[in-house]
Amino acid sequence: MEIVVIDGYTLSRDDLPWDRIEKLGNLTVYDRMGSDAVVEAAGKADIVLVNKVNIPSEIINQLLRLKFIAVTATGYDMVDIEAAAKRGIPVSNVPVYGTDSVAQFVFAFVLDFCNQISVHDSAVKAGQWAGAKDWCFWKTPQALLAGKKMGIVGFGRIGRRVGELAHAFGMDVLAYSPRGGALPEYGPFSWKTLPELFGESDVVTLHCPQTAENAKFVNGELISRMKPGALLINTSRGGLIDEEALALALNQGIIAGAGVDVASIEPIREGNPLLKARNVRITPHIAWSAFEARKKLMDVTVENIEAFLAGSPIHVVNAHLL
């Protein structure tokens, strides 16, 4: 069985070996490549593992030996699942692995804005505390989360975990989900429409997949509903936000700040307006990347391959098309 990983670097680095997958077949691992190199690299592959490289129908139809695609992520929009299904190729993803990692990262953004530890650490190390007249000082206002409102757009596994953490901080939780769902056990909690949620929340955090229908749904009109002191956090998909509108809102002081771990095009382009916007924290799509989360991602990928080899594939995202 020929197994080819076409972009394995961001998952494994040097701290997470491929040894369990090596036991399942003849394994070839490429750190990274463009879509134009996939056919040559995986032309003899029975199984392809992919994270972010686009595999459209024209590539799938040239991989004549291909029998299974394992996506080493939850999102699978990079694979044409319909084209795979037409050839009888199941596509499996990893539905749950980074819930805690991403939820924790949301609060890394939020707490950074609230307390700005690094600003004060730098001030102390620059001698400002040693030379102070008083026993304490602060460079930025210190904000308390208790009593404030956390607005969560998308109330799946990650959104619900963020809600639990927000509740633990003493925040009221507001949520928007097209499908609703079971009420959490804690309170205060309430379902809101998008305009209500953006208008009432002190922090708005996005936890929904990107589709053709919701691209740039966080636009200037929706942002303008936010409180002047509110924060917008995005650890989901960059294309959910109109980045020009967000940069304008930040520069005009319409909202207090934003934390984004994703961009509309990744890696982020030099001309992205958020790079020069005021009061924005930008991280390079790392909310998912805690070692424990990546290990779980690898473990479930192994399980997906083993299940396929056993004749009973699991986590198949195109099962309804096969």
Q: Which residues carry out catalysis?
A: 237, 266, 285
What are the strands, taking DSSP E only, across 111-261? 149-153, 172-176, 189-191, 203-206, 231-234, 257-260
DSSP 14: T
The phi, psi pair for 287, rounded to 5°, reads -60, -30
Two structure tokens written together for 17: 């070996």
**Helix pair 157-168, 99-115: axis angle to 10 deg:** 40
What are the strands, taking DSSP E only, across 154-292? 172-176, 189-191, 203-206, 231-234, 257-260, 280-282
CA distance 140 to 222: 28
Tell me which residue of 126, 125, 170 sits closest to 150, measured CA to CA: 170
Tell me which residue of 80, 37, 41 sits closest to 61, measured CA to CA: 80
Q: Which residues of 158-179 are buried (b: 16+ CB within 10 A; e: fewer)?
A: bbbbbbebbbebebbbbbbbee
Q: Are strands 68-71 and 172-176 parallel, antiparallel or unpaired?
A: unpaired
Tell me which residue of 107, 59, 105, 97 sits closest to 79, measured CA to CA: 59
Q: Which residues of 39-77 are buried (b: 16+ CB within 10 A; e: fewer)?
A: eebbeebbbbbbbbbebeeebbeebeebbbbbbbbbbbe
**Helix pair 291-309, 99-115: axis angle to 10 deg:** 160
